[in-house]
Structure 1
Amino acid sequence: MHHLSLSEVSIILVEPSDTQRKIIIKQLAAADINHVEAVGSVKQALETITKQGADLVVSAMYFEDGTGLDIIKQLKSSDSHAATPFMLISSENRVEKLEEFKQSGVAAILPKPFTPDNLSKALKASLDLINSDELDLELFDVHDVRVLLVDDSKLARNHIRRVLNGLGLQQILEAENGAEALTLLKDQTFDLVVTDYNMPEMDGRELSEFIRFNPETSHIPIIMVTSESSASLHMANIHQTGVNALCDKPFEVNEVRKMLVSLLGQ
């Protein structure tokens, strides 16, 4: 299977400022990316994506006719373009605003202004999504690994599922919260649980405690996905609930690959 290099990646850049577009295009060129189609509005972005597609959409947050969230939601709800990575570039630092993008399956969030190192890391995360290879596990056929995916956001579940599918995991059942997950755990067998932390009815902490203290499920590895800092009060003691690994949103392929090799290769 051919892997795209940075020099082969085609990007749709969505940025309302002419000056900012020129700056970003110059920085992308310095990172060896030269196939860039630049547009300035949500409407133009959606038309261009529909007409010609791209390997990666790079977008600002705010436009006169909407926000980057409108773009990513349309992107992720399209059968043709749902797998296209979306990178946000924004000076926005309000947690609740960035949270919306994290829950929607953004591949990377790049601060504005950004450094070459910031850009390189974000491009690598996006390229990993495009070029994902199946895991090679000693103890499992990766296609046989049974996964329970728990997240109250459908967009987030879709993104996580695509990442897991790209790594070769195909047997994935979904639940919208911990309570729904418990019903599935009682009736079926799983090799791995991937759960969000913040959910209604029963959150990831409560679900993890149930899994770990129930003899029939205590052996199942748990990856908790969260947009909260690992240093936050909520997350500081999360490993005490029996969670095996913490994974940040955006849900990055390389990080997840390492976790799965460690958890399923034992």
Structure 2
Amino acid sequence: MVKAFYTWTRINHFDARMPNLVIANLHILLIEPSPTQQKIIVHHLQEAGVGSVHAVGSGKEVEAYLQHDRPDLLISSMYLPDCTATDLLLTLRQSEDWAAIPFMLVSSETRFRALDPIKQAGVVAILPKPFAADDIVRALKASLHYLEHEELELEHFDPHELRVLVVDDSLTARNHIRRMLNTLGIERVTLASSGKEACKQLNEQTFDLVVTDYNMPEMDGEELVRAIRSRSDGAYIPIMMVTSEQDQTLLQGVQQAGVSALLDKPFSPDVVKQTLLNMLNH
């Protein structure tokens, strides 16, 4: 019954249609400890048309720079002399002043256990090394969506009245998703730190949309989807799952449970917007 009403799709953050954005107006802070790599990346950014690039080599230099200037985008290597990019991003996300600055990772790192924490922290794009000019342009455009504030235009809902439940065991991830929804005009966002807490919230109030992570303790995302679909009022609630999980067997289980859409981390607001339009207008 659920499958008849929802078309399950997996969406990668570079798959969405990209608007005509002005890369030339970007002010970028590059964090790269290697002078050679600094020159290479700055050269690629300049070739891509970026108007202003400043480079530093450590997390401490980033904090000093942010005291007197605010870049539009941070681009960082994974391993810095005094911290990792994950450590740096988590620090920024905890700051009221710097939490909303988009953060892009440039790294040859491929291990899941190394990349998953920074995905959970809300990195907006990951650019693998080595990369071509087209790759960095796509990554820049994906990052630029975070600087736009364009409300959803829905047929059956007022975005300001849309009631959304966000479920993730990471406080940083919950706040990141909430900020993204806010940029789309969605203001009534309730946060839950676990699947069990989400079920409690669903017992206490009604929601128009559930956004959940997959990997959570006690009750994972698939179990939460099944719990929602088993409710008398849960068969038709749109459920969007955002995850860095790559195990296709596990993801097939999520599909069978009745998820409405599945987004890879990292993802852009443009992808979220299009996904919400598809789910809520139908």
Please confirm whether the aligned pair reaches a TM-score higher than 0.5, indicating the same fold. Answer: yes
More displaced stretch, 15-24 vs 129-138: 129-138
Q: 1:48 aligns with which of 52, 62, 65?
A: 65
TM-score by length of 2: 0.90
The match for 1:250 among 238, 244, 266 is 266
Q: Indicate if the aligned counterparts of 1:46 and 1:71 stay in contact, CA closer than 8 A.
A: no
State whether structure 2 residue 209 is matched by structure 1 residue 197.
no
Q: Greater shift after overlay, 154-163 or 97-106? A: 154-163
Tell whether 2:70 aligns with 1:35: no
Provide structure 1 residue ranges, at least 5 long, that are not aligned to the other structure.
none
Check whether the contact 2:21–2:141 (CA below 8 A) recurs between aligned residues.
no
- Provide structure 2 residue ranges, at least 5 long, that are not aligned to the other structure: 1-19
1:223 alignment counterpart: 240
What letter matches 1:245 in structure 2? A
TM-superposed CA distance for 1:50, in Å, is: 2.6
- Of 204, 220, 223, the residue aligned with 1:206 is 223
Structure 1 runs, 4 residues or longer, greater than 3 Å off: none
Higher relative contact order (CA 8 A, sep 6+): 2
2:119 to 85, 99, 102: 102
The residue aligned with 1:7 is 24
Counterpart CA distance in 2 for 1:93 and 1:9 is 28
Q: Which residue of structure 1 aligns with residue 10 of structure 2?
A: none
Deviations 1:58-114 (A, max 9, x none): 000112211112221121111111110000011111110000100101011110111
**One-letter code aligned to 1:207:** L
CA contact (8 A) 1:4 1:131 kept: no
**Does the 8 Å contact 1:132/1:253 carry over to 2?**
no
Show the counterpart of 1:236.
Answer: 252
Alignment equivalent of 2:203, drawn from 186, 195, 216: 186
Q: How far 1:5 moved relative to its partner?
A: 1.9
Q: Determine if contact 1:110/1:119 at 8 Å carries over to the other structure.
A: yes
Give secondary structure in 2 for the equivalent of 1:66.
coil
Structure 1 residue 80 and structure 2 residue 117: aligned? no
Q: Following the alignment from structure 2 to structure 1, what is the Cα–Cα distance between the partners of residues 38 and 203?
A: 53
TM-score (norm 1): 0.96
Q: Percent identity?
A: 49
Aligned pairs for 1:123-162 within 5 A: 123-162=140-179
Aligned-partner Cα distance in 1 for 2:171–2:21: 28
Could you report, residue by residue, the CA deviation over 1:26-51 in whole angstroms, capped at 9, with x for unpaired residues?
Answer: 10011110211100111101111232
In the other structure, the counterpart of 2:135 is 118
CA–CA distance in structure 1, aligned partners of residues 186 and 154 of structure 2: 11
Shift of 1:4: 6.8
**Displacement after TM superposition at 1:227 (Å):** 0.2
- 1:217 and 1:251 map into 2 onto residues whose CA distance is 26
CA shift, 1:251, in A, is: 2.7
State the one-letter code of the partner of 1:191: D
1-structure distance, mates of 2:87, 2:228: 37
- Residue 260 (structure 1) aligned with residue 271 (structure 2): no
SS of the counterpart of 2:219? coil
Question: Superposition RMSD on alpha carbons, in Å?
Answer: 1.3
What CA distance in whole angstroms lies between the structure 2 residues aligned with 1:259 and 1:212? 20
Contact 1:160 1:251 in 2 (8 A): no
Q: CA deviation at 1:179?
A: 0.3
Q: How far apart in 2 are the matches of 1:168 and 1:154?
A: 21
Distance 1:131 1:182 in 2: 33
**Distance in 2 separating the partners of 1:19 and 1:259:** 40
SS of the aligned residue for 2:165 comes to strand
Q: Is the contact made by 2:225 and 2:254 (CA closer than 8 Å) also made in structure 1?
A: no
**Deviation for aligned residue 1:130:** 0.5
